[in-house]
Chains A and B, each alone.
Chain A
Amino acid sequence: MRTVAVVGASLAGLSAARSLRKQGYDGRLVIIGDEPHRPYDRPPLSKDFLTGAVAEADLALEADGEDLAAEWLLGTRATGFDRTERRIRLADGTAVRADGFVIATGAAARTLPARAGGANMAGIHTLRTLDDARALRADLARGGRLVVIGGGFIGAEVASTAYALGLDVTVVVVAPTPLAGPLGETMGGVVSSLHADHGVRLLCGVGVKGFSGGERSGTGVPTAEGRGRVEAVLLEDGRRLPADVVVVGVGAQPHVEWLESSGIELENGVKCGADGRTGLAGVVAVGDCANWYDPAAGMHRRVEHWTGAKERPAVAVATLLSGGAGQPGPVRPPYFWSDQYGVRIQFTGHAAAADSVTVEEGAADDRSFLAVYRRAGAPVAVLGMDQPRLFTRWRKQLAAAGA
């Protein structure tokens, strides 16, 4: 293999590039990313970066002086993949030809349907990129009322950070219980009760109809760019929530539209084997855009967590370099963390597989406990709130049981 192209210059792409060099690949390495920035870390964007406790320089993922001997094509979007020519088309009309490809284009923040309006209103944000976080940080600094739409981890973290900055915060969630997807009903309820502990309003079971503000009425306060600002969030039940800043945190969708009609199978992202391979020889996919086969569960899963984006590329790169001959090594069960209201939340495994969940240590009411999810008596997932030591031990145990 003489040229490998990595598409996506974030955590998964950088981890793949590192793995290539670590596993002895010494050919040409091209890394394509549509953001202008060197790879940076996203998790702090909803946490310490918004408060200013960590600066942009602290977000860099590369170590000082790290040199992967790669050609970086930054600020360049990949627009297509030609399977016969084995090349990636770029938005500027050029193309990169390669023998091996790593697809690591991640995911994009989901937005509300267009009928909700607000597209031209200032003050409405999504949060995925550094540029998003810069804009949100500037808006939060104005203070006032924040409405967060969506009760997932990113929405909850923004609410917690904004609360710490002194804003008046309301979280609106269409589901009856936030976080029920990743954590199950019971524990989703326990974790999201952190909002109420801090006087952040949580409105569940109600959808958002749209926004009022400058866009439609023309009465909104004009901004520097001449756009009107958002003034309120309108709920399906007729309520109107006054808002100075709005964050739409309704999940992410894989960034794979550029691969349509490439011959690579797309199904909730790039469909991959247990080792990251796609249906095309010499093409693997990693990170948030990849829907990997999980042999233990007998199904494909797309995992949108930092640790998977960091650890799985080593397996995918081994597949690529061996021409698919290698045996996929075991991958650890999914793991993620979240920091909210000064509480450290850690989770590993799959809650959906469980038929019971029990608190084994501490108490849910104290927001310091360890809960174990089981299926037919065997642990399948573990949740810790402010229990890093115990959690670490359980995580190892779960990983060992699954290997």
Chain B
Amino acid sequence: MKIPVCRLADLPRGEAYRLEIDPPVSVFHTDDGEVFAIDDTCTHQDASLADGWLEGCEVECPLHASKFDLRTGAVDTSPAKRPVRTHQVLVEDGMIYVELSLAAPNLPPCVGARLAQGSA
């Protein structure tokens, strides 16, 4: 599914935009001008990575400082153990689009439990 996010011009470098879908996805504009999209929820606990700290191609979780590579989703420091899901980004006519991944998201246990309750 291809989802429009926002205009590239409206997302300054070093900033993130959270797409309020379920589960939410975040789009990061790096200082080098690249744009990446990953699941917004940290795989450790319920924290929004869009609130985190962007440095190069990595975002540091605002809660317990696990770092995720925006290109691959890989996590490089505990406490998170699993990668975040990445999504493909397309920029067409100055507009950012996200092509949602079909892989299963790696949601943290507390969020996973809540979603399971909600759907039960």
What are 7 A-B pairs with beta-carbon distances under 8 A? A54-B113, A306-B64, A344-B63, A388-B63, A389-B48, A389-B51, A392-B53
Given contacts A64-B81, A310-B78, contact A389 B64 (CB under 8 A): no
- Select from chain B the residue with minimum beta-carbon distance to A64: B81
- Select from chain B the residue with minimum beta-carbon distance to A15: B78
Given contacts A53-B110, A389-B51, A392-B53, contact A61 B62 (CB under 8 A): no
Taking CB atoms, residues of chain A closer than 8 Å to B52 are: 392
- A391 lies within 8 A of B62 (CB): yes
Asked if B65 CB lies within 8 Å of chain A CBs, one says yes
- Once bound together, how far apart are the Cα atoms of A389 and B49, in whole Å? 9
Taking CB atoms, residues of chain A closer than 8 Å to B79 are: 41, 61, 310
Asked if A71 CB lies within 8 Å of chain B CBs, one says no
- A58 lies within 8 A of B50 (CB): no
Report B120 CB to chain A, min CB distance, Å. Answer: 14
- Once bound together, how far apart are the Cα atoms of A48 and B51, in whole Å? 22
Return the contact of B78 from the options A63, A344, A391 (Cβ within 8 A): A63
Report A's interface with B, CB cutoff 8 A.
41, 48, 53-55, 58, 61, 63-64, 306-307, 310, 337, 344, 346, 388-389, 391-393, 396
- A396 lies within 8 A of B53 (CB): yes
Interface size range on B against A: 10 to 19
- Once bound together, how far apart are the Cα atoms of A393 and B51, in whole Å? 9
Total number of residue pairs linking A and B with CB closer than 8 Å? 45
Asked if B47 CB lies within 8 Å of chain A CBs, one says yes
- B110 lies within 8 A of A392 (CB): no
- B53 lies within 8 A of A388 (CB): no
- Once bound together, how far apart are the Cα atoms of A393 and B64, in whole Å? 14
Taking CB atoms, residues of chain A closer than 8 Å to B47 are: 388
- B110 lies within 8 A of A48 (CB): yes
- Once bound together, how far apart are the Cα atoms of A55 and B47, in whole Å? 19
Taking CB atoms, residues of chain A closer than 8 Å to B50 are: 389
Return the contact of A337 from the options B63, B109, B110 (Cβ within 8 A): B63
- Once bound together, how far apart are the Cα atoms of A64 and B52, in whole Å? 25
- B113 lies within 8 A of A53 (CB): yes
Besides A53-B114, A61-B78, A389-B48, 18 more A-B contacts (Cβ < 8 Å) are A48-B109, A54-B110, A55-B109, A61-B79, A63-B78, A63-B81, A306-B64, A310-B78, A337-B64, A388-B48, A388-B51, A388-B62, A389-B50, A389-B51, A389-B62, A392-B52, A392-B60, A392-B62
Interface string of B79-120 (1 = CB under 8 A from A): 101000000000000000000000000000110011000000
